Structure 1
Amino acid sequence: MIYWRSGGDDLKNPTGTGVLSTMAPTKIDLGTIIILDIGRNVSMPEEKNGQSFFEKGKECAGRIIERKIISQGKNLLGIILLGAKTTNNTLAEQAPGTCRNIQLLTDLQYPTWSMIRNLPDVPSKSKGNWFDALLVAAEHLKNGVPATKIVQKKIILMTNFLVPCDTEDKQIKQAIAGFQEEGFEVDIIGPDIYSEENDNNDVELARLFVEETKGATATFDYTMRYLLFHKKKATNAIPWNVDLSIGPNIKIPVSAYIRIKDEPVIKKWNTAIRNPVTNTASSSEGIKKEKVHINTEDQTTVAADNIIKGYEYGQQIIPFSDCDKSMLYDPGQKSLKVYGFTKSSNITWQNLNGDGLSYVFARKRNKKAQYALRCLVECLLELDLVGIVRRVYNNGNAPKMYALMPVIDTNNFVCLSMVGFCYKDEIKNMAFPVTNIKKYACNNEQVECFKELIKAMDLTTAYEESEFDDTEAFPIAKMVSPSAQYILDCIAYRAMNPGKPLPQPRDDIVMLFKIPPLIEKRSREVTEKLKKLFVLNKVEIKKRDKKKNHSMDMDDYQNQSSTSNADVTMGDLPKIDLKTLKRPDSIQRIGTMHPINDYDILKQGGKTVSDLATQMTEAIESMIHGNLDGNFSKALDAMMHFRNECLKTEPKLYNDWLKNFQTELTNRKRNNVIEMLNEKKLNYILQSENSLSTVKSYSCDDSQLYENDTEPMLTEVNISSEVNDLFDNM
């Protein structure tokens, strides 16, 4: 940006009208200077056991600074102390002896927590001229920050005007004219300058400053009530520009603006790390974090090059390599396509999600688009239809479905409201019993009583007119979030009190959860009347008896019944330990919890070793491959039990399985498991072992094996089997 600056004899342009500068000034939305009176005239308490003007002013100034910090607006703030012990300002340096007892405490800068900490704790014994303080503030707003363009300049004056300014009317008029020319706005907080009690010459002059500069005035109580809750940072809406496509040929340039959206309370805050030695916080230091991949089997670090990313699907990990990215679904480019139209009655609130609401307008300065969109909105209203659109926010984003509903208000406001759809599995259909039956019919007296209750609980008249400006409670679009307010309060408290625990929510936040007193008072009598009209009978839910009749041995039952009386109830029967009593038919398959016990029970039920071999080996493999803690004792005990069972009848079953199992362990590089098998002597069953048993001999070539054959020879392949067996490994 190039602009002209008047004055100067060097670097003049050819026309000689000014100096050419290529430096663009920084644009600031708002520049504010707070003038806080700390003199002797504000030190006395205004009421008995009440706060002084100084205490109220300091509290109000701190609240203003706190709110500006949390709002994170692009605003500059400065603080001037009126009635200070020392004199520190530019006008006093230029003209010694003037603007005395006025101290520039903080230059114009972005608000910080140190500004609140640097406010004086006690008032001084000096006095200052409030008119001179206004001139000092105006001079600093104009020249305090070079190469900066402040759009709106505001001066907030906090004084009780008990010290006369002793200024001529001519100087007052000149100052007001200068303030108007430079665009200054003077606000006065503290005294009621329009009250007859504060009617004096200085108050009249201050009132003139406020009126001529189009400023504002308020008391401390009103200002603190206005600053009761934190406000969001005011930002300009950023449109999402896209073409609304209807069919292959119709495209309407539109812009979508977010109307309602759930956003986090804290977005961008600079994190500070506190040094435990010096007990100071630093935003330039941080905790170094390092991410490493650990192999849970041998606790070794895996390099990033050997990692294959995947997605968790149930209890399995689905690998997703770089070559698989080419197979991803491509949603296409940024678009907003109409898939069709449906009756508005088909779109209920259950079908819509809570991701937010957007308004779709025709593109600015495009009359053809505005005419086409208006025609579309009017047609949708006339036919009672709603558009179903597919939205891709940006290239590569996942597509979503939305409903486009027409909107035309009384002010000829034409647009489309866009709300997202829910997926089918997100909708919960709940069936309720029919209530329009004779059993639930209400008489006229009951209906009228409910109408009285609704009128008594009308939130539009929840307060007395003398209590608040607005009598409505919980107004729509004006209510603040209690959780958000508490989080922001905690941030402000932690900044000012870093070593103290966080406080409980203040009463102003807790009041948001309570019923207004007037509503509660009006509805109390109607509620008692409703209790008399509707007689409610308490429904007792019968609880099931926890004592259940478990199966037991009939011989024990006969012995017990013979020794007991004839009137013994079922609840007095002897208790049976269910852990020791198991029926053979209660176990259907060998599990990983108690594999040996399950095997014995199924064997007692008539199953042979051949029938149970597959189940037993699957359980052993699952316990070894799915092990996470490195304890294989249960799996090795089950393997030993299975080996002994096969040794008696079918050694070939064990040897065939062990050969494949060891091959799989070798491919998976589970050498630690193979070493444990050798230590526990869980190798192949040899013929010499079988000859010692009492079972009949058999002839099998696979049983003629020795211990050095436990690791069979493998053929190297190009593709690692670890990748092929990834699903089984997980």
Structure 2
Amino acid sequence: MALTALGWPEFMWNWKQAIPLFGYVCSVGEDIPIDNECVSGDFVNLKMICRCSLSKMLIGVGARNSRGINRRRRPRRRPDFPTPRGMARNKEGLVLLLDVGPSMHRALQELVFHRSDEVGVVLFGTKETHNDLARELGGYKHVLVKHDIKVVDEETKNALENLPRGTAPVLDAIVVGLDMLIKRFGDTKAKQRLCLITDAQHLLRDPPQGTKEDQVDTIADQMKKHDIKMDCIVFRESGVQHNSVMDENDRLLYHFRDRSVAKVVQVDTPTALLGALKTRNVLPVTIFRGDLEVSSTFKIKVWAYKKTSEEKFPTLKKYSDKAPPSDQFASHEVKVDYEYKSILEPDTVVPPDQRIKGYLYGPQVVPISSAEWEAVKFKPEKGVKLLGFADRSSIPRSYFMKDVNSFVPEPGNTKAIVAVSALARAMQEMNKVAILRCVWRQNQANVAFGVLTPNISSVNNVPDSFYFNILPFAEDIRDFPFRSFSSLPPSSQPTEEQQEAADNLVKMLDLAPPGREEILRPDFTPNPMLERFYSYLDLKSKQPDANPPPLDSCLRRITEPDPDVINYRAPLIQNLGKSFELKENPKRKKARTQERLAYTDPDDQAKSSENNAEKATAADGQAKKPEDPYAEKARAIEVLFPSTEKVGKIGDVNPVKDFEAMLAERSSSIWVQKAIEEMKKYTTNLVQNSLQGDYYEKALECFVALRKACIIEQEPEEYNQFVTKLYERLKKVDDVVKFFQLLSSKNVLLICKEEAPDSDVTEEMARSFFMKTEISSE
């Protein structure tokens, strides 16, 4: 008899009778985390996981049950899925299927639920049998319904503590959990989910008729009919040897995934299990539905979702303990009122209609009314427009800002699916990305400017899509130029031995070693701060005076290096410490900007080193290691450049010293630019007003100081453009041409790339510039 031809009640009976006793879902025990992407079973600290999850849920329950709490109402948003009658939009029906087999008994402790979820707990592998199917139909032994489906509360958490041990088949547990969901929600469109956690190491019996694959197909058909999804988490430690039984069980579990009714994830560490079990699903809500406008005649229907978004800490409310303990209806609410008073009349309260916002514009406060602000606001039209394409390499990863969004073709729209796939595959083949201008909502205050990256699907029934990252504007970018390591003296660069020791340290702590699964994958790594917060919150609810407990071992493996690796590689770490000898660095007076300007050229540094060596030999009678020229320079600077008073202008007595004093003034960001501009004006006047070269020596000193300052302050273009424009304007004056010849003879060239990475001038170009000057003079 074909099961699909039967009515539901009769089919239900036949279907249940046909299921063999097989399987495991979740086990209880020591330190293993849990997620909703797969079924796993081994060592999870079930107590810890349960406390954390339920304390997270109880935050919402407490806010909902307290009377008089002033809650901020959020705007309602249309969900992407129908809301079942009698259920909140974010509400979910969930049945946990927990394998309590021997290898699974130290794995499940802290499950996180939404405050309006309805949760049931089914244990299989127990000595006791308690479920409706066993009473109605017989069979289904060693499957215990520990907690019926109802809104999560303290009883739900208690159901996950003190779990028994034993073994039982997985498919029985799946059928019992499926039966609980169908009886509870019927034909409604409520979100329903099974969460299976197991090690899948036990042999399954052959069914009375058909094959095991047929039984899986029968269950999958019913799950599809009632829109029930299953998350399977298979936990096996890395040392477990695979056998034919485990391979067969894996194949059957993955058959659920192939039927599009389950997700299967395998984990091998307690930390990964803690991160893999997500008992609270976030409802996917679109941030945009509309056209991806390639041109006025070519538009693609797309939906945009958030792909990654930071999970925030729960909002902590102000609480008052002034109410009597016996008052059961006290809300303990704290109300905060603000009063605005005039400085001239401190006793007079300024009403709202007499207040206006003001914005600082320099030292001035500019008042802007609400009506004026609304008129000034940019109110673009809703839409997503393609601006063009760029090479993938031209968009550095450091430019990505905020959350990541996913663009998918409109569900059920074949033309949109084909268009998105064609565009994504063309971009992938040409190694291109698209630049978009996005306005998610009508009259949105800001415009998102971002990059669209193709995401080619590897699954046949999943269409291609795009990832969208917001790009910065010019005001958002922060440049931090640093001196190149190659420009440092040899004494400041690592030796081959030091470099090898550092390379070995990186290899030792590699989180994705060859032949092993990646450690601390983001998909399976929970936020240790959130987990610890919820765990402590649960403890405080029971013991108000409790101190924070030590960090759990699962969370410790996230926040600290693996102690096993550290102990195993102790000699390598000791070798690293020996390779880098630490010396005491004597404290010295902080150098000022004018001190940093007094740097020496490479030739001067070499001479200084030789002089140091000669002095050391004369003093001690034997050669000593030459002193670092940089250390000598630091001492000389203290004497050569004493602190100066604030100077706002470059004078004729000592223009170089005035210039350095202006650079040293850091009370405002404009002082460096102001100093450079002042020196450029002063130097130009010296060159122009020189009579038969009487000011050339002074102008040369100013040019040298200006050039050094532009190199240190990373402003090479300021100097290069100044010299070029000055020459173009005065090149027909014979005396001025002689001055440029003087600069060339003193090797005061344009600033090249070797001296400042931001410069566009090569060394050859810098020297050829003065050669042109000499030719024009001839």
Question: TM-score, length-normalised on structure 2?
Answer: 0.45
Of structures 1 and 2, the one with the larger relative CO (CA 8 A, separation 6+) is 2
Question: TM-score, length-normalised on structure 1?
Answer: 0.47
